[in-house]
Structure 1
Amino acid sequence: MDGVWVTLQLVILSGIAGFLLAIPLALMRIARSPGLWMLAYAYIFFFRGTPLLVQIFLVYYGLSQFESLRNLGWLWTDVLSQPYWCAIIAFTLNTSAYIAELFRGAIQAVPVGELEAAQALGMSRRQQYQSVVLPRAFGIILPAYGNEVILMLKGSALASTITLMDLMGATRGAIARTYLSLEFFLLAGLLYLLMTALLIGAFRLLERVYNAHQHATHLSVKKLDAQLRDEHLEQQVK
């Protein structure tokens, strides 16, 4: 169960950090400046095109090759040289690339009518993104974002390769002591399945909150003003 807690910490912390990093990456990706979108494209291309295991090794083993990093004092001894934080850094960089592409597509999929309505209200471009575009895009990406978090949960098993005692690391340690490989691997699989089910349920609740208009099957039109009721609306509700 200690391994389960470490796995949840890895997924939650890297998921939050990756989400926050993905927003500016997505905005850079749709920017008109070639320098911005090419930089974001190169970042996304690299982390989507290389295996997560390679990225974990690059962070954990590769950073130690730079003497300037080894001379950072507590930042090196307490953060960059620790497998826990190296795993979080690698997972954050990896998932931010995928989420940034989801956000890019969602921002471009925001209905033009909503942008025109925001412009008609006199909103500045910053207000449009803050109050209309980004909240709308978040609702659009929720199903795909849930899948990305689940994939990250399963990919977190790779953290055991850098001596981190997450769920898979604890499982391998138990197997080394007891030689009960089938029993403990089956137990680990069931625990991953349980965590996946909890994540699916959490994202279903988020979808019902942010995409409530897609689940409104029964609409009351009797309380509307008579001028707003028409035959087409009543037939659609029926």
Structure 2
Amino acid sequence: MDSLLASIEALLADNTIFTLDTLSYYGEGLTTTVQLVFLSLIVGLIAAVPLAIGRGSKRRWIKMPIFFYTYVFRGTPLLVQLYLIYYGVVFVEGIQDTWLWVLLEKPFFPALVAFSLNTAAYTTEIFHGAIKATPRGEIEAARAYGMRYSLMMRRIVLPSAFRRALPAYGNEVIFMLHASAIASVVTIMDLTGAARFVYARYYAPFDAFLFVAAIYLCLTFAILYLFRYLEKRLLAHLKPASG
């Protein structure tokens, strides 16, 4: 054990990239990345549920605006959306005189808005497809029991749709984690921003970015493990009985 610690200390001493000073930047970047991705996913998930229900409405004045929103945000690059929100908000007349400017003048909040709108669009389509795939027998059974539409959605359709959407939503969570790397282009000190700072300071691109890639890889494996666990618990009834 002592020899292992001595080897690590020698490695850190030989490599100026991984000092306590630079590791603090990576720690700050990791915290910012996790906060940005987590908050974006929460906001996007909350918005996607009613949007997915409205997306399946028979009323065109309800479903067409939702379709247009998801089409635009799924059909354009997230980087472009981030630029439009981050730089475009400055040109909104009178915005700098309102209380919103306290939030919008910092890059984190415009990035949160862009990421939330983007993931909400994808999650809406994921849930919409899962809701459409609800077995007709479940709906007819709920109606036979005299359930109202709202009660049927809350107790039958949405729980069943969530279980079916879980694998696709897991991919969306991983996509958002990887897409969060572009937040550094608007001066946010996320993981990629920390790597850029260390690279600019020590001129060691391979060390700086390989270390960040390893962190992203660990986060991705953690997300995969979490969703595999959830799928195993929530979709256990779909597995064939043994014996």
What TM-score, normalized to structure 1?
0.89
Match of residue 136 from structure 1: 160
Name structure 1 gaps, 5 residues minimum.
219-237
In the alignment, structure 1 residue 105 sits paired with structure 2 residue 129: yes
CA RMSD, 1 decimal: 1.1
- Please tell me the residue identity of whatever aligns with 2:123: I
Within 5 Å, give how 1:216-227 maps onto structure 2.
217-218=241-242
Q: Are residues 186 and 114 of structure 1, via their aligned partners in 2, closer, same or farther at CA, if it must alter by over 3 Å?
A: same
- Please tell me the residue identity of whatever aligns with 2:71: F
Match of residue 212 from structure 2: 188
Secondary structure at the counterpart of residue 67 of structure 1: coil
1:2: how far off?
Answer: 1.3
Match of residue 72 from structure 1: 98
- Please tell me the residue identity of whatever aligns with 2:87: Y
In the alignment, structure 1 residue 36 sits paired with structure 2 residue 29: no
Name structure 2 gaps, 5 residues minimum.
1-26
Match of residue 167 from structure 1: 191
Structure 2 CA distance, aligned partners of 1:72 and 1:138? 39
Match of residue 47 from structure 1: 73
- Please tell me the residue identity of whatever aligns with 2:44: G
Task: State, as a whole percentage, how many aligned pairs show the same letter.
Answer: 45
- Please tell me the residue identity of whatever aligns with 1:165: M
- Please tell me the residue identity of whatever aligns with 2:204: L
- Please tell me the residue identity of whatever aligns with 1:35: W
1:216: how far off?
Answer: 5.6
1:88: how far off?
Answer: 0.9
In the alignment, structure 1 residue 57 sits paired with structure 2 residue 79: no
- The Cα offsets for residues 92-142 of structure 1, whole Å up to 9 and x where unpaired, read as 000000010011110010111111121122211110000010111100010
Runs of at least 4 residues off by over 2 Å:
214-218
Contact 1:208 1:215 in 2 (8 A): no
Deviating more after overlay: 60-69 vs 155-164: 60-69
